[in-house]
Amino acid sequence: MGWTAAGPCRRSDAPRMIVETAYAKINLALHVRRRRDDGYHEIETIFAFAEHGDLIEADLGAPPALTIEGEFAEALAGEDPNDNLVMHGGQMLLAALGGGIMPGIRLTKSLPVAAGIGGGSADAAAVIRLLCGAAGVALDDPRVMTVARTLGADVPACVMSHSVRGDGRGDDLIAVEAQALDAMPLLLVNPRVPLPTGPVFRAWDGVDRGMLDNGEPLAAAIAGRNDLEAPARAIRPVIGEVVDLLAAQPGVVLARMSGSGATCFALFDSEAARDAASAVIRGGRSDWWQLATRVRPARS
């Protein structure tokens, strides 16, 4: 059974194999303002994305199925493929665009799971981009963003996968001029401990420490904070060790935990400084996962 789609989702010239990257998400700053009546939290954040991430491959001629491989595939081994955001998100999108059959999907899981860098949201967003490309549908189509918001608060930003501000649940996206961030050297480090989002938000102390600055994104991020870092450190003290080690490296512009953790990041003033820091961490903590990359420019 091959990939087909009705109405606006039909593209006769679509190639059989399509590849898309699920770019790692970074919260350069994350201000938690209050807990909402719907259970979500009102936040203000600056999203950025790495140039690297998980890999999504779709075979438009294969029956609907999800295959997961890669370094962190084992962490998802017990999941029902039909419950995975990759398949669920793709099915929701096709239904919103007029119907169709999911293709065969292979996910190469290179990013840690429950790590504060997008994970399933980034993977689902990559499938959305992939299917929209095959169907000739623009990513800013209201139907696309409606599906993305339904899947999760950070999925809309992951669909765009470039630097953007997020308010509300994080899905009210505001364009920013982020040239200072474009291609900036970036190092991600995870101590290989999973940290689900729920317990971290529940451990937040409920104190509103003020708004995130509306100015230039890098300056706003440096002046800002991650309100989830303290509760995350309390749950996983090793996070403090990671952040402190990153912050101590020469050439660091900003070191912080991303999202709800446990992945931490550092922005550097040069690739040489980033690579030197990577070598230091590898020499001292070879058991930690790390990714040396750059911030993905908006024009990518």
Domains of the chain: 7-174 (3.30.230.10), 185-294 (3.30.70.890)
In the block, residue with structure tokens 């998802």 = 76
Contact 9, 126 (CB under 8 A): no
Q: Check whether 123 has a pLDDT greater than 80.
A: yes
Antiparallel, parallel or unpaired: β 104-108 and 264-268: unpaired
Contact 165, 173 (CB under 8 A): yes
Q: Which helix (H) or strand (E) holds 201?
A: helix 197-203
Q: Check whether 16 has a pLDDT greater than 80.
A: yes
Question: CA–CA separation, 148 vs 156, rounded Å?
Answer: 5
Q: Which of 19-23, 75-79, 94-98 has the lowest mean pLDDT?
A: 75-79
Q: Check whether 4 has a pLDDT greater than 60.
A: no
Cβ neighbourhood burial of 75 (10 Å; 0-12, 13-18, 19+): middle
Q: Check whether 264 has a pLDDT greater than 90.
A: yes
- Verify whether residue 25 is a known catalytic residue: yes
Percent of all residues in the chain with a pLDDT value above 90, rounded to a whole number:
87
Q: Check whether 79 has a pLDDT greater than 60.
A: yes
Contact 63, 113 (CB under 8 A): no
Q: What is the pLDDT of residues 203-213, one digit of tens each?
A: 999 999 999 99
Nearest to 260 by CA among 194, 214, 189: 194
Question: CA–CA separation, 264 vs 204, rounded Å?
Answer: 18
Percent of all residues in the chain with a pLDDT value above 70, rounded to a whole number:
94
Nearest to 112 by CA among 228, 17, 236, 221: 236
pLDDT averaged over the chain?
Answer: 93
Q: What is the pLDDT of residues 177-196, one digit of tens each?
A: 999 999 999 999 999 999 99
pLDDT band at 82 (very low <50, low <70, confident <90, very high): low
Higher pLDDT, 43 or 79: 43
pLDDT band at 3 (very low <50, low <70, confident <90, very high): very low
Catalytic residue among 54, 154, 171, 227: 154
pTM greater than 0.85 (yes/no): yes
Catalytic residue among 25, 54, 123, 227: 25
Phi-psi region of 261 (alpha: psi -120 to 50; beta: other; left: phi over 0): left
